[in-house]
Amino acid sequence: MVNISIGGLEFNVAVAGDSDKPALMLSNPLATNLQIWDPQLPALFDHFRIVRYDSRGHGETPPGRGPYSIEELGRDALAILDALGIEKAHFLGLSMGSITGLWLLINAPGRLGRVVLASTEAQMPGPDMWNSRIQSAHEIGMENAAEAAAERWFTKQFRDANPGEVERVKAMVRATSIEGFAASCAALRDMDLRESIRGIANRVLIIAGRHDMSTPPGMGALTASAIPGATLVTLDAPHLSNIEDTANFNKAVLDFLSAPETAFLQARLQKQTTTKRAPAKLPARKTVAKKAATKKSAAKKSAPTQWAKKKTAAKKLVAKKAAAKRARLTAAKQQTFRKTAAKKDKKGAKMAGAKQKR
């Protein structure tokens, strides 16, 4: 353990591992301390130089003046790296620690290598909830906060089966200073990184817990979708997935941090290829649509012509019928005229015969 002075505060920092190995910074959740990472240490020591620290107002780091901001928490992490002479480090943060990681990715991307963010989101909704927690801490103390946190952070099955581990975490919450807890709640309440994270270019892994009530898995998925190229892993775990599902958590972290760069390049190439192939289907759909529109247009154009033909045929039929009718009338008139003329001729012949007799 070493103490590093930042802005008049003595930060409690733990550094362990070979200095020749890549540095990995671990940032703790709200109301816990650097011991929250104990389940990860055996797996990580073989690969990294581990830097853990108590966030301001947590563990053995005094609270200072609050309320805090996410920027302030991010600058604390940078100051610790500076004091240790670490130019660049991988980063693993959970909950509040992961949001500190988001700020670093946005504002100091060159200081970070690959970044793992567990139980994260870019905005914490519900300002009234945070104000209530702040008020409760000041009025009642941290005992009530510890009980409430255990219910949110672990499943009932885990609490029943592992009371010792749950009590270890509750002890961290009780030991957190009220001022540090309240000031950190204010930082989480006021932060909104939803737009800023869209410009992140580092390699990022987001770990979500399927049973997480504090940062639901949908929020982790939404954050991952907003960060270009981010990878999302969902564990069958609650908020503190690093404790309740240690084996799968450690595997996800190590697989990501130790993966060869070619794996990321291949994944990006595959994604780009898939993206490029999609538009190729568009002309086909467009052509079909165009053909359909042409066919429809032709049908519209041909419709009046067909109607005109039908109309002309109907007129011709009417005219033909009228001509036939006129012909029948003419024939009837002519027949009547011939009959009348014949009668007249017959009558004239009779009159002529009568005159001759006289």
Q: Are 241 and 209 in contact (CB under 8 A)?
A: yes
pTM: 0.76
Q: Are 111 and 252 in contact (CB under 8 A)?
A: no
Same-domain status, 230 and 295 = no
Give whole-number Cα distances, 343 to 51, 336, 340, 350, in Å. Answer: 139, 11, 5, 11
Q: Which of 207, 224, 259 represents a domain boundary (last residue)?
A: 259
Domain with residue 208: its CATH number is 3.40.50.1820
Q: What does the pLDDT read at residue 278?
A: 45
Q: What does the pLDDT read at residue 336?
A: 55
Same-domain status, 180 and 68 = yes
DSSP 38: G
Q: What does the pLDDT read at residue 280?
A: 42
pLDDT along the chain (358 residues), means of 10: 95 96 98 98 96 98 97 98 98 98 98 98 94 96 96 98 98 98 98 97 98 97 97 98 98 97 70 50 45 49 48 58 60 54 49 42
Q: What does the pLDDT read at residue 321?
A: 64
Same-domain status, 249 and 292 = no
**Exposure string for 276-312, b = 16+ CB within 10 A, e = fewer:** eeeeeeeeeeeeeeeeeeeeeeeeeeeeeeeeeeeee
Same-domain status, 45 and 137 = yes
Q: What does the pLDDT read at residue 36?
A: 98
Flag whether 128 is in a domain: yes
- Domain with 23 in it: 2-259
Flag whether 271 is in a domain: no
Q: What does the pLDDT read at residue 353?
A: 45
Q: What does the pLDDT read at residue 302?
A: 46
Q: What does the pLDDT read at residue 288?
A: 42
Could you give the number of structural domains in the chain?
2
